[in-house]
Structure 1
């Protein structure tokens, strides 16, 4: 098959959407499919192969990490896209990519689907706090319904998100296909080297969080947990790997709490080198987000053999199974701290969780899940002329 993916984000912008696109693109290509991607240009120079088309873009006021593709520049690619003979358009984000992707698909007379990566009803109020949360939730749901109802199929990374979309009133067909990982990418790393680079002493217990540093990720709860553990004379250090609009706020919060010397915000890491070393440097991976549609970093940490202590809500409920590489917390400071202490103070438990984490991560094999995606593509394209009709 020949697939056209379109996204408002891709590397060098690091997040779960970029990782998901890269993973599926790579695995589908290995299986013999042709996958092209339209994504924004970024100020940072990128070396792409000829299957990635960068569209001129401009900055986004509220989020300097992101870019907005110029719609007309994208639509003007139609003649060369028509020559490729694509079978399907797969949208991955709901902004310019959605509207341009839908327009291109209808002009090419091929099906158009999306992956619903982001739970917007839990995001907007962090950025527009002066509007009542109930109003923003209604707006986010209405926005999602209007977009999803215009498509020929919807993919969600977890069945919980699929059920939520159905509750919104979306009647178009929804399938659940999580993003997988290649565990071999995370099996070997130099944790000692990474600790040395940060100046963290070997005897300190290193807690790691890999995340976009945004308010909806609930990182403030991790700072509260660190403060609680330090009050109990625990020799710990929290490393937060990522960037985002809340970074400076959380840095200031750590200072105000008197824990700044025990918390490091280290920015984004190279996924093929430093990030892997970072996972291997940690004694525990800690995760406090309640808004994930899946939570790929949890599986990456497990593949590296790093035990997890995490909240299991929304999409992470389907990733996390208590005892299989993870201790699930109810999210309160007291329980979060207690679960961390339980694992750190029992070497046998830590080792058991580490080994079970590596085994469990293998269940999320990227090649197997990409085969499910390919099968879904075939089903959509087969049904399109017969059941969905022409969209000339």
Structure 2
């Protein structure tokens, strides 16, 4: 009989109903862990969300600088505080991450911290440009302090592990890809999706979905597509969308903004695309690129951050150098020209990028701490 899975208390300042890579990863790991017979209670900021089994809301306040996010007070709900826990895992370094650290320290539990997002990259959202450098420096000092209290730091890519080392973190650091739900993200007939969004044209489709943040450099995609014989499709939403739409009107680009897409629609979205375009230089993994690959869609992306690693150049897509618009256009065109071959490579790697493989590795790491 196999040994029972450890009970892992997960703390996160970003969770449903907000949709992003962190919330997707935490919720998917929770579901997979529970399906294997383990317990993974999640502590998250109270919001307009009907909690499910083993999800516990902590008191929170609206985050004034970013619509949809909430600031949680560093508290641990009694259901978790009084439960049997083997490992504490924090997915963010703020209020609830700090609550997780305190809980682990008080009860002498192993403490794991995931580094999903470089908080310094978001300094421009909360302060004027003149103070961005100071906030960035303070953010990095806080990250280093927080991560150094962990028994193990997990990063979703080797590039992000190197960044954590560059911060001066002394705690052990292991790269662990978050993994893709390959049952959900698989080649899908996009006919109904295309018809619903009036995308039944004969031109190739090049697209992006995700948060429309300034740090994602999405205008680079418009610049690269200017004059390209393709239709550009944006899924998702965010603070940069209004300016992005304004710029699209100034360029010779056929652009469609679809807005927020339910996760149930994403497999059809990716399958409809001939190429996924990803100009964001700040990714710690680039999960949407891997989701696209799992659906058989290759990626043209920037050779920066984790995308330098996530995209296998010439195998699952093509890179371009940051700021090189002509290079971005060339990468898109080459991806379109070689789509059939690249698609075969993407589909051959579905098992390697699956969330099931990630959970296998996660279990091994947890057990190693015990």
Which category describes the TM-score, using the shorter chain as reference length? over 0.9
CA distance in 2, matches of 1:56, 1:141: 26
- Contact 2:81 2:103 (C-alpha < 8 Å) held by counterparts: no
Q: Distance in 1 between matches of 2:133 and 2:269?
A: 39
**CA-CA distance at 1:297 after TM superposition:** 0.6
- Contact map agreement 2:115 2:153 (CA 8 A) in 1: yes
**1:275-354 residue pairs with structure 2 within 5 A?**
275-331=266-322, 332-344=324-336, 346=337, 349-354=338-343
Partner SS, residue 269 of structure 2: helix
The equivalent residue for 1:250 is 244
Q: Check conservation: 1:23, 1:180, Cα contact below 8 A.
A: no
Q: 1:127 to 1:82 in 2, by over 3 A?
A: closer
Matches within 5 A, 1:23-38: 23-38=28-43
Match of 1:374 in 2: 363
Residues 141 and 168 of structure 1 are in contact (CA less than 8 Å); yes or no, is this contact kept in structure 2? yes
Q: Which structure would you say has the larger RCO, counting Cα contacts within 8 Å and 6 or more residues apart?
A: 1
Question: 8 Å contact 2:299–2:335 — kept in the other structure?
Answer: no
Superposed displacement of residue 114, structure 1: 0.9
Deviation of the 1:99 alpha carbon: 1.4
The residue aligned with 2:122 is 123
Equivalent residue number for residue 344 of structure 2: 355
Shift of 1:133: 4.8
Structure 1 runs (4+) deviating above 4 angstroms are: none
1:179 partnered with 2:178: yes
Structure 1 residues without counterparts, runs of 5 or longer = 383-392
Q: How much does 1:311 deviate? A: 1.2
State the Cα distance separating 1:155 from its structure 2 match. Answer: 0.9
Structure 2: runs of 5+ lacking an equivalent: 1-5
Q: What displacement does 1:153 show?
A: 2.1
- Correspondence for 1:15: 20
Matching residue of 1:388: none
Task: For residue 177 of structure 2, give the secondary structure of its aligned residue in structure 1.
Answer: coil
Q: CA deviation at 1:126?
A: 5.3
Separation in 1, partners of 2:300, 2:275? 7
Partner residue, 1:264: 256
Residue 54 in structure 1 maps to residue 54 in structure 2: no
* Structure whose residues are more often helix by fraction: 1
CA distance in structure 2 between the aligned counterparts of 1:108 and 1:264, rounded to whole angstroms? 52
Q: How far off is 1:258 after superposition?
A: 5.7
Q: Deviations over 1:85-125 (max 9, x none)?
A: 10111110121112111122223331222100012233323
